[in-house]
Amino acid sequence: MAYDYDLFVIGAGSGGLAASKRAASYGAKVAIAENDLVGGTCVIRGCVPKKLMKYGSHFPALFSEAAGYGWKVGDAELDWEKFITSIDNEVRRLSALHISLLEKNGVQLIQGRAKLLDPHTIEVGDKKYTADKILIAVGGRPVKPDVPGFEHGIVSDQIFHLPTRPKHIAIIGAGYIGTEFACIMRGLGSEVTHINRSGMILRGFDDDIRSNIEEGMVNHGIRLIKNSVVEKVEQVDGRLKLTLSDEKLEPVIADVFLIATGRAPNVIGLGLEAAGVELAEDSVVEGPGYGKMSAIKVNEYSQTSQPNIFAVGDVTDRLNLTPVAIGEGRAFADSEFGENRRVFSHSNVATAIFSTPEAATVGLTEAEAKEKYGEDGIKVFRTQFRSMYYVLTGKQEKTMMKLVVEKATDKVLGAHMVGDNAAEIIQGIAIAVKMGATKKDFDATVGIHPSAAEEFVTMR
């Protein structure tokens, strides 16, 4: 049967863009459908605008630290409208750049929301298209728990478009998004209350990362409320009143309420059932008012239950990171169109939390290593110090570095850091961990002095 396209991609985010361009480079006829700005979550409403906001949030600290080095800095004031507009302009520039790259690579862009009608037919608007292979790369969407008054809250997509800087923002959600925006908004001058229904932020990360970030958040003036949930939100005199489950605590009064309790695979309305695409078993998110999330079930080659339909990125809920979606997309294209059948490895993927202080990690946490190798099977090297930069500022900002090593082989199983430039430093360390470096390899490496990074090769 003749099809309109060799490959039809649903979703022009990181994974879809990477796969479509790679497949087209092999000579495939490719189309990609998108109902929003091209670029996906990372470019439009995630990594890029968030990182720009993070950069902006650091200037007040830099101004105050300059005094320790003899600089006289006058009164500083943030022009919020210019700040937000500049970020939006950059997002739109990048979106336009991605469109031009699609054109350059011969990929046809179809504007509109795509829906599967059967295993080979896609509907976009009032038009139908057929394809030999289909790739679903629609990412995820923010979700709100079903709690009274939560309609008054915003999700992370909306924080980039606030008309004014809130005097007080309340945030729920202790993952990447909630933690990062708590730090960003505090740095930008807002009062911040961060509410966590468990005991510690960033579940799944190494405990030393979690505790060090929490300590930094408190030191920077963020109010942390633990082991409590928001039971109700009401509008009172133009502000929001958040009633907490802990009756000993007074309600929180805020101008903006950010709900960062997670993202769900964006599978609604895709027509998966009509195409015979199965979902993985629901994963339950604990807590009152919290629902279930279903991801598209795939094998190691990103193939769904329908042999000619594939899925990559957050919609599969494997490892929800932009570089992973890109890697999965390229592996799919190489396998199906480039005669290079391969599996993308999800092991030892480095990641960062762009909080203040910043953190980054690669490999196993201490707890994971103990579970896998036994408590006596590993050795942990840890250091904490104030970097030279802060000596003249008088600030007590701490840096933490940690290596988790298997005793039997001396292999470095995990590397973790909290402190300035953690992401930049761990990116290099990740190469060594991925290659299977040993602690002796680290010890034999000469450090760059004076630098914070040299601590990774001097820990004993």
Catalytic residue IDs = 449
The label of the residue with tokens 């494997």 reads 318
Among 217, 12, 195, CA closest to 97: 12
Query: 289: which 2 tokens?
Result: 């008012």
Contact 193, 170 (CB under 8 A): yes
Please give the backbone phi and psi of residue 253, each rounded to the nearest 5 degrees, phi first: -105, 120
Q: How far apart are CA 103 and CA 60, in angstroms?
A: 42
Please give the backbone phi and psi of residue 277, each rounded to the nearest 5 degrees, phi first: -100, 120
Contact 369, 406 (CB under 8 A): yes
- Burial category of 57 from C-beta neighbours within 10 Å (exposed 0-12, middle 13-18, buried 19 and up): buried
Question: Is the dihedral angle over the CA atoms 335, 339, 341, 344 positive or is it negative?
Answer: negative
Strands 399-406 and 378-385, sheet pairing:
antiparallel
Q: How far apart are CA 235 and CA 103, in angstroms?
A: 48
Q: How far apart are CA 348 and CA 192, in angstroms?
A: 34
Q: Torsion angle, CA of 224/228/231/235, rounded to 10 degrees?
A: -20
Query: 53: which 2 tokens?
Result: 């906001």
Contact 245, 231 (CB under 8 A): yes
3-state secondary structure of 133: strand
Cβ neighbours of 151 (radius 10 Å): 8
Q: How far apart are CA 84 and CA 162, in angstroms?
A: 8
**Cis-peptide into 357, omega within 30 deg:** yes
3-state secondary structure of 416: strand
